């Protein structure tokens, strides 16, 4: 059932301030908090774990830096000095990567590609800020980060590339083998069999000899068209850039895809041929 207007306005009061007028609510800067009010005796006092008036424990977990209280210690709260905030999950299960600028699972120690401040960005899928997100995050093979649920959702939609750098984020070896088999079993369509690919202008065209045979007295048009592409240094092969290993190579054009000769990946894209000195 949909929440009422009052319930929706009340949501998040502990984060945005206990003010009756929604327009007056603001985000609480925890580090700047100087005074707290005991909810038992209603005494305003300096930030501390124990109430100075009634002696009640204000929180089983207390962080004097973040001015943070919590009674549910099963979360495994701990304060990371390098991050400057409190995190959950148990201090023994995390380490702080100085280059990435965030706490990662100990399973990633010496086992991930560092990208400077990789967590101090928004998730490329849902665009929530990752550094202080309460949702689990995933470090991709390329070093970029996103929410774990967004990572899984991306896989369910057959998206296998990092949205930032386009490197493969899943094990694609079986997929590349299937594409090998498909290319071997697929004859190039008649419309493309005699065509060459221009990596400069992105067009496919019919070689001059075939064009003269097909167009007959329109051969002058075909000759002019072919000469234009010859100035673009068109060729039957196409230069490709591999998104996975960043190497460039030359491969025969195929409608299914072009394979990198270095890492055998099909995660490639056509580029302009290199300019010789």
| Residue 249, domain CATH | 2.20.28.10
Residue 172 lies in a domain: no
58, 48 contact by CB (below 8 A): yes
262, 247 contact by CB (below 8 A): yes
Q: Are residues 98 and 41 in the same domain?
A: no
Q: Which of 25, 41, 75 is the last residue of a domain?
A: 75
More confident residue, 213 or 47: 47
**Residue 199 in tokens:** 């990596």
Predicted confidence (pLDDT) per residue in 173-208, tens digit:
999 999 999 988 887 776 665 555 554 455 555 444
- Average of per-residue pLDDT across 6-12: 49
User: CB under 8 Å to 240, separation ≥6 — which residues?
Assistant: 248, 249, 250, 251, 258, 260, 268, 269, 270, 271
Q: Which of 75, 95, 119 is the last residue of a domain?
A: 75
| pTM of the predicted model as reported, rounded to 2 decimal places | 0.67
Closest CA relative to residue 146, chosen from 133, 158, 159: 133
Q: Which of 42, 75, 108 is the last residue of a domain?
A: 75
- Name 96's bridge partners: 103
User: CB under 8 Å to 224, separation ≥6 — which residues?
Assistant: none
Predicted confidence (pLDDT) per residue in 143-152, tens digit:
999 999 999 9
Q: Are residues 148 and 190 in the same domain?
A: no
For the chain, the residue count is 277
Query: In terms of residue numbers, what domain contains 9?
Result: 5-75
- Average of per-residue pLDDT across 82-95: 93
114, 97 contact by CB (below 8 A): yes
Q: Are residues 189 and 254 in the same domain?
A: yes
Cα separation, 121 vs 212, in Å, equals 56
Q: Are residues 194 and 266 in the same domain?
A: yes
The distance of Cα 43 from the centroid of its chain, to the nearest Å, equals 47
CA distances from 43 to 36, 54, 217, 270 (A): 8, 9, 99, 69
Residue 276 lies in a domain: no
């Amino acid at each position: 059932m949909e929440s009422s207007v009052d319930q929706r306005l009340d949501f998040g009061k502990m984060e945005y301030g206990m003010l009756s007028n929604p327009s007056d609510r603001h985000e609480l800067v925890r580090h700047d908090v100087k005074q707290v009010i005991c909810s038992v005796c209603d005494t305003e006092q300096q930030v501390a774990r124990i109430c100075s008036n009634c002696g009640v424990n204000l929180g089983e977990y207390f962080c004097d830096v973040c001015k943070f209280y919590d009674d549910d210690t099963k979360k495994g709260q701990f304060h990371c000095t390098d991050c400057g905030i409190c995190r959950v999950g148990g201090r023994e299960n995390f380490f702080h990567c100085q280059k990435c600028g965030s706490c990662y699972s100990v399973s990633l120690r010496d086992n991930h590609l560092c990208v400077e401040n990789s967590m101090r960005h928004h998730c490329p899928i849902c665009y929530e800020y990752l550094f202080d997100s309460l949702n689990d995050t995933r470090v991709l093979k390329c070093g970029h980060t996103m929410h774990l649920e967004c990572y899984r959702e991306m896989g369910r939609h057959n998206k296998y590339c990092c949205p930032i750098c386009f490197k493969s984020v899943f094990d694609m070896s079986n997929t590349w083998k299937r594409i090998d088999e498909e290319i071997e079993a697929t004859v190039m369509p008649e419309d493309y069999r005699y065509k060459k690919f221009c990596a400069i202008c992105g067009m496919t065209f019919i070689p001059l000899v075939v064009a003269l045979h097909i167009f007959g007295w329109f051969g002058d048009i075909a000759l002019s068209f072919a000469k234009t592409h010859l100035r673009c240094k068109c060729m039957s092969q196409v230069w490709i850039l591999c998104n996975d290993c960043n190497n460039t190579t030359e491969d025969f054009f195929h409608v299914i895809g072009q394979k990198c000769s270095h890492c055998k990946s099909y995660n490639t894209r056509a580029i302009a041929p290199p300019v010789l000195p």
